[in-house]
Structure 1
Amino acid sequence: MQHKLSILALMLVTIGLAGCGNTLNPAANLDYAQNGQLVGYQDADDVHQEQLVYDINASGLAPKGQINIWAEKLVNELVLQNDALRPDQPLLIVTPVMSSDFNQTNELALQLQQSLLSAFHAHEFNLVDLNVSTSLRATEKGELILSRNWEQLPDDMPVSHVLVSTLNLTNEGVNFNGRVVDITNNRVVSAVQSFVAGQSLSGYVLPANKIQTRDGLIYRTENVKQSRYTVIGDKQ
């Protein structure tokens, strides 16, 4: 009798140990049946997860043209000459205008404005985008939020410094003059001047010709060297 009880006790202990050895992983409650077969959930600890690695040198940056490189060089010098603007102070970049008429601009100036903004952001300055309107417009042409309509733009932007600049077209290329101005007292805290040969901006300017139209007037000159470059897209 005692021998039978010993065998029974041993069987119970064995069953108990077997039960402990088959204790379900807490994740086992995610097991599910599919097509009559039990599909088990594999614990994340048992899954080899390849580490996500992004190599900027191997992947590369966005391709750039001459106007982008020009903007980067302009900003590099503005940062070098800066004597007051802190990176945490809001900075607004306005559209470059013609040195002869502060109410006139062109396609080259508009693109240069965008490039200057990106170049300043690369230096981790606190940029403010004036063209983001106060509301999103859903139209047939797409979802739009950028605007140049002053009625759609915020009127209480916390801006303390502005980058203003002028362009001047010559018979050899384009002159650029820019300065960062503290609008609380109009003090210039940084300035840069630059010249780019027209051939380096072939996608934006046209070389001088004997006959040109500017502001609706026709100009003719026998000496092409005395005529100036024109911006592609200028109103004729």
Structure 2
Amino acid sequence: MPQSFTAFALALTAVSMLGCSNSMNTAHNLDYSHDGAHVSYQDSDDVYQQRFVYDINAAGIAPKGQLNVWAEKLVNELVLQNDALRPDQPLVVATPVFTDDFNRTSELSLQLQQSLMTAFHAHEFNVVDLNVSNTLRATENGELMLSRDWQQLPSDLPVSHILVSTINLTPEGVNFNGRVVNITNNRVVSAVQSFVAGKSLSGYVLPANKVHTQGSLIYRTENTKESRYTVLGDAQ
């Protein structure tokens, strides 16, 4: 009788182990969906390990637009031309201004500034964000930390270099000139100049119109080739 009970117990144990082997592997907790297809994570031995394997090609990265790619190319050349700035030195990216008015910016300038900061950080430079305020503000519009109010921003940041830049709208597109400057002596440590055709920034600039404004004056021309591109959202 004891022998029969032992044999039954062994058979029950074998069935239980077989059922466990068919259950979902712990590694399957890392499965995900990509472009509608199911992607399964498994290591070489099909055994869960305490090591997270991340396939950047399978998982993908954030999509980029025209302006992001342009900013990356600008920063690539600035890094190439750099002759003094070290990655550990604090760097500020200022908002690009118009060549004919250093107090005027645009939606294009503001977005380009953000993209330039990201591109510099990708090169592992010590980028400083001046728009991070001293306090977190809980408002009806959300929890806000960024600000353009100088009274809410820190005034003692240890900044040594700054990227200053200008843009100029032409009948064909947008000119860009940028310089990384040492603020202690105004020495230019890197510079870049670039031109982008307006049609390459279709989401940010508009083609020239017969009627356009420049400053406080209104201009009309039958030849649109003599008119400049305008930034999307600016007064026409």
TM surpasses 0.5: yes
Moved more, 143-152 or 214-223: 214-223
Measured against aligned partners, the alpha-carbon deviations of 1:9-38 in whole angstroms (never above 9, x if no partner) come to xxxxxxxxxxxxxxxxxxxxxxxxxxxxxx
Match of 1:89 in 2: 89
Aligned match of 2:100: 100
Aligned-partner Cα distance in 2 for 1:202–1:75:
21
Q: 2:208 matched to 1:208?
A: yes
Verify: 1:133 aligned to 2:133, yes or no.
yes
Residues 213, 235 of structure 2: 8 Å contact kept: no
Q: % of aligned pairs identical?
A: 78
Deviation per residue, 1:57-80 (Å, 9 max, x gap): 211110001100000000000000
Does the C-alpha gap of structure 1 residues 197 and 49 become closer, same or farther in structure 2, counting only changes over 3 Å? same
Q: Which amino acid aligns with 1:198?
A: G
Distance 1:167 1:184 in 2: 25
Q: Which amino acid aligns with 1:106?
A: S
CA RMSD of the aligned region, Å?
1.4
State the SS of the aligned residue for 1:71. Answer: helix
User: Aligned residue for 1:5?
Assistant: none
Q: Does structure 2 retain, via aligned residues, the 8 Å contact 1:90–1:127?
A: yes
Deviations 1:173-217 (A, max 9, x none): 000000000000000000000000000000000000111234453
Normalising by the residue count of structure 2, what TM-score does the alignment of the two structures yield? 0.78
**In the alignment, what sits opposite 2:176?**
176
Q: Secondary structure at the match of 1:72?
A: helix
Rounded Cα–Cα distance in structure 2 between residues aligned with 1:225 and 1:119: 33
Partner of 1:111: 111
Amino acid in the other structure paired with 2:121: H
Residue deviations 1:42-90, cap 9 Å, x none? xxxxx95564211112111100011000000000000000000000000
Q: Shift in Å at residue 234 of structure 1?
A: 1.4
Q: What corresponds to 1:15 in structure 2?
A: none
> How many Å separate the matches in 1 of 2:218 and 2:55?
55
Correspondence for 1:65: 65
Higher gyration radius (CA) = 1
Structure 1 position 100, deviation (Å): 0.3
In structure 1, give the amino acid aligned to 2:63.
P
Give the TM-score normalised by structure 1: 0.78
Q: Output the amino acid matched with 2:211.
A: I
